[in-house]
């Protein structure tokens, strides 16, 4: 039985409802260690590690102009190739998280792992890094994480997160959500409530059509940009990330896709990641939550499921509405960083210095 099947997703149903204040319908190596040198340009234009259910890993890369790339894991070379490569690595010992160093014949090395952190109590706990910026740098992995709710973490999950070095947990949920399903985190993890929606939002009835549901999601995304509670919550997260030691910082909501999705979209944009990459990261929640969402919809009558589906999805229109609201309300993303997230030029430099390599 694979990881996603073990983690049942009837949880997905109330998760989406709580995003917009709706009543849920009744159902029928050590993280933070980065050996790559920031003094050298990293020649990789694309690279990714994907863990397979059989214990193997697929490693892909593109490094134009590089004749040879060595793929190293656990201190030894496990594969190699040229400027473009796709290799499958098998037989590695079990690990909390398997790291790979892509070492080019010239230029800086790149350290990557599979983005998903496999836990029994979550389906959407993943690394916020591993993306290339427009100027050729890379967002470090093993530093900042994003997730769905943490109330169902097992003792084994907690031990794993402690070994991975979870230092701070920013809970983006409402007071009611936090009370109904309190986080479980390793002892010593700093917990911060950063309520994006606030507790004064009105409670609406379930939309009557899919179009109404989609409009609610679009409006909710806009509120994450302009609402006072959202600005305060996200400012607290970004202040910590820019404060000099972001290693092991996590932010999460209930489904890990909307409030959390905007946090990651804003972070990656501030770091200089291209919009198409930001969108791909945002839409990836549809893949990670696919089985969870399917189970939730299967428990509803078909007509009701059709109305509810837009609230379980992430869609390009949702994220685009957030960026459009940034332009409307602030004129530019740079102005949003300063006026809404509270980041001055010095803090932005610190943020990039901490989270980028190459």
Active site residues: 253
Residue 219 Cα to chain centre, angstroms: 21
- Asked whether 43 and 107 are in contact (CB, 8 A), the reply is yes
* Contact by Cβ (8 Å): 310, 20: no
Pairing mode, strands 168-171 and 190-193: parallel
Cα radius of gyration (the chain):
20
In whole angstroms, give the CA distance from residue 256 to residue 159: 21
| Residue in the structure block whose two tokens are 């967002």 | 139
- Map tokens 């890379």 to a residue: 138
Expressed in angstroms, the distance from the first to the final Cα of the chain is 39
With beta carbons less than 8 A apart as the criterion, state whether 285 and 319 touch. no
- Cα separation of 123 and 351, whole Å? 28
Strand partners of residue 116: 126
């Amino acid at each position: 039985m694979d990881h996603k099947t073990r983690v049942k997703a009837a949880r997905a149903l109330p998760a989406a409802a709580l995003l917009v204040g709706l009543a849920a319908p009744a159902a029928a190596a050590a993280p933070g260690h980065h050996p790559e040198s920031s003094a050298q340009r990293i020649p990789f234009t694309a690279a990714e590690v994907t863990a397979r259910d059989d214990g193997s890993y697929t490693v892909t890369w593109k490094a134009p102009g590089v004749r040879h790339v060595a793929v190293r894991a656990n201190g030894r070379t496990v594969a190699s190739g040229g400027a473009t490569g796709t290799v499958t690595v098998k037989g590695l010992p079990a690990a909390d998280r398997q790291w790979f160093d892509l070492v080019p014949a010239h230029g800086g090395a790149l350290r990557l792992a599979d983005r998903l952190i496999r836990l029994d109590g979550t389906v959407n706990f993943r690394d916020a890094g591993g993306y290339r910026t427009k100027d050729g740098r890379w967002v470090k992995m093993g530093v900042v994480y994003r997730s769905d709710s943490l109330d169902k973490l097992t003792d084994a999950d907690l031990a794993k997160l402690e070994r991975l070095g979870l230092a701070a947990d920013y809970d983006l949920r409402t007071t009611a959500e936090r009370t109904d399903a309190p986080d479980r985190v390793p002892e010593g993890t700093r917990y911060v409530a950063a309520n994006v929606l606030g507790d004064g939002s009105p409670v609406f009835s379930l939309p009557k059509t899919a179009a109404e549901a989609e409009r609610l999601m679009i409006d909710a995304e806009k509120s994450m940009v302009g609402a006072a509670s959202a600005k305060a919550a996200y400012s607290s997260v970004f202040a910590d990330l820019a404060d000099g030691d972001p290693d092991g910082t996590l932010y999460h909501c209930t489904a890990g896709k909307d409030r959390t999705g905007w946090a990651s979209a804003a972070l990656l944009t501030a770091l200089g990641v291209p919009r198409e990459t930001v969108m791909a990261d945002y839409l990836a929640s549809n893949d990670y939550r696919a089985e969870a969402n399917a189970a939730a919809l299967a428990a509803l009558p078909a007509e009701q499921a059709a109305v509810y589906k837009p609230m379980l999805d992430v869609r390009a229109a949702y994220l685009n509405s957030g960026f459009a609201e940034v332009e409307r309300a602030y004129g530019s993303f740079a102005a949003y960083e300063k006026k809404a997230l509270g980041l001055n030029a010095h803090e932005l430099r610190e943020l990039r210095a901490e989270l980028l390599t190459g």
